[in-house]
Amino acid sequence: MKYETVHGLSVPKIGFGTWRIGGESYADPKADPASLTALRTALDAGYTHFDTAESYASGHSEELVGRAIRETNAKRENLFITTKISPEHLQYDQVLRSCEDSLRRLQMDYIDLYLIHWPPRAALELNDAFRALNQLVRAGKVKHLGVSNFKLKLLKQAQSLSETPILTNQVPYRLPDKTYVENGVLEYCQQNDILLTAYSPVKFRNLPVNKTVRLIAETHAATPFQIALAWLVAQPRVITIPMSLDPRHIRENFAAAEIELSKEEFKTLSELY
Ligand SMILES: NC(=O)c1ccc[n+]([C@@H]2O[C@H](COP(=O)([O-])OP(=O)(O)OC[C@H]3O[C@@H](n4cnc5c(N)ncnc54)[C@H](OP(=O)(O)O)[C@@H]3O)[C@@H](O)[C@H]2O)c1
């Protein structure tokens, strides 16, 4: 695995997303066996970064992440757990309560990275949220803070309110979606030691049939999806968190970090969409 190091912390280039683990918007116990198989496969393959949220499957995703980790006896200190607070819980007391609820569901005593999932409905709520988030870091319940889906102005505001460096901005980023390149967020992150965590990195309709990607994939004896991940991995300050319920895809996604694209391949891919 390759790593990005920011503020003395090394974070794996590829982690495991958990949207659909345990259900989608609501808990779906029927999804538990497949979800636990996916999490165990990921732990077994060597993933150490797991990305979840209080909203995923109404908190059941966090419960299953915690359960899979306990059942596989993975060492807590070797793992990096990200979870997220929902935008409707950004008042001071709500932040503290959400964090306690996430810790209880995960059955952990700290969260490595705690993100504000979506911008607040009113910009002033951010002050209140960071008052509580800073307190959680001081109390050791949260190691690092970050945000998600934040445009540049709000990201800078978060930086000014956080007592510790904003570790990441988690945003959509994949070959055909360069919104956060075009709006200047990626460049700002790269210049200011902030990780850009690319979500939905392999959500494609036509990727396998795209001739250019397919040819590059053949050169590396890889799949087009692995090439889409390798393109993200090649970028400084970018990490990513693909999700899959398919054990083969889970292992392929992890292995994609080892693919070395040539400068020409990287350029071709960058100009593709
Ligand atoms: N912060 C936010 O607002 C936000 C929003 C969205 C997502 N996220 C996070 O980012 C994670 C990833 O995003 P995502 O789940 O939306 O999308 P994604 O990981 O880009 O795509 C998931 C889809 O791709 C398929 N897939 C994965 N690997 C594959 C492979 N190697 N070959 C073929 N198909 C593959 C999966 O199907 P199979 O199961 O069949 O493999 C699944 O249908 C989420 O799980 C979540 O943790 C965050």
Domain extents for the chain? 10-203+235-243
Quick check: is 3 catalytic?
Answer: no
**Using CA atoms, how far apart are residues 106 and 64, in angstroms rounded to an integer?**
8
Mutation test residue for ligand 1: of 55, 244, 248, 250, the one with most atoms within 8 Å of CB: 244
Per-residue pLDDT at 243? 98
For residue range 194-239, what is the model confidence (pLDDT) as tens digits? 999 999 999 988 888 899 999 999 999 999 999 999 999 999 999 9
| 175 neighbors 229 (Cβ within 8 angstroms) | no
From the list 3, 26, 47, 56, the catalytic residue is 56
Long-range contacts of 65-73 (CB under 8 A, 24+ apart): 65/18, 65/21, 65/39, 65/106, 66/105, 66/106, 66/107, 66/108, 67/36, 67/107, 68/36, 68/39, 68/40, 68/43, 69/39, 69/43, 70/107, 71/36, 71/40, 72/40, 72/43, 72/44
Helix axes 152-161, 125-138, angle to 10 degrees: 50
- In this predicted structure, what is the pLDDT of residue 206? 84
CB of 249 closer than 6 A to ligand 1?
A: yes
Backbone dihedral angles phi then psi of residue 115, each to the nearest 5 degrees: -110, 145
Residue 102 has pLDDT above 90, yes or no: yes
**Residue type, position 39, single letter:** L
Inform me whether the pLDDT recorded for 166 exceeds 80: yes
Query: Sign of dihedral through CA atoms 101, 67, 42, 55?
Result: negative
The pairing of beta strand 80-85 with beta strand 49-51 = parallel
Q: How confident is the model at residue 73 (pLDDT cuts 50, 70, 90)?
A: confident
Mutate to test the pocket of ligand 1, among 202, 238, 250, 259 (most ligand atoms within 8 A of CB): 202
**CATH architecture of the domain with residue range 10-203+235-243:** Alpha-Beta Barrel (3.20)
Query: In the structure, what pLDDT confidence band is assigned to residue 122 with cuts at 50, 70 and 90?
Result: confident
* pLDDT over 90 percentage in the chain: 95
Mean pLDDT of 45-59: 98
**Does the CB atom of residue 241 touch ligand 1 within 6 A?**
yes
Average pLDDT, the chain: 97
What does DSSP say about strands 3-6 and 9-12: parallel, antiparallel, or unpaired? antiparallel
CA distance 242 to 200: 6
Pocket flag, ligand 1, residue 54 (CB < 6 Å): no
What is the reported pLDDT for 208? 83
Residue with tokens 């700002």: 188
Residue 167 has a pLDDT of 98
pLDDT value of residue 29: 93
Which atom of ligand 1 is nearest the CA belonging to 252?
Answer: 31
> CA end-to-end span of the chain, whole Å?
28
| Whether residue 203 has its Cβ less than 6 Å from ligand 1 | yes
Nearest residue CA, atom 25 of ligand 1?
A: 244
Which pLDDT belongs to residue 168?
A: 98
The pLDDT assigned to 121 comes to 86
For residue 123, pLDDT beyond 80: no
The torsion angles phi and psi of 251, rounded to 5 degrees, stand at -70, -40
Is it the case that residue 35 has pLDDT exceeding 90?
A: yes
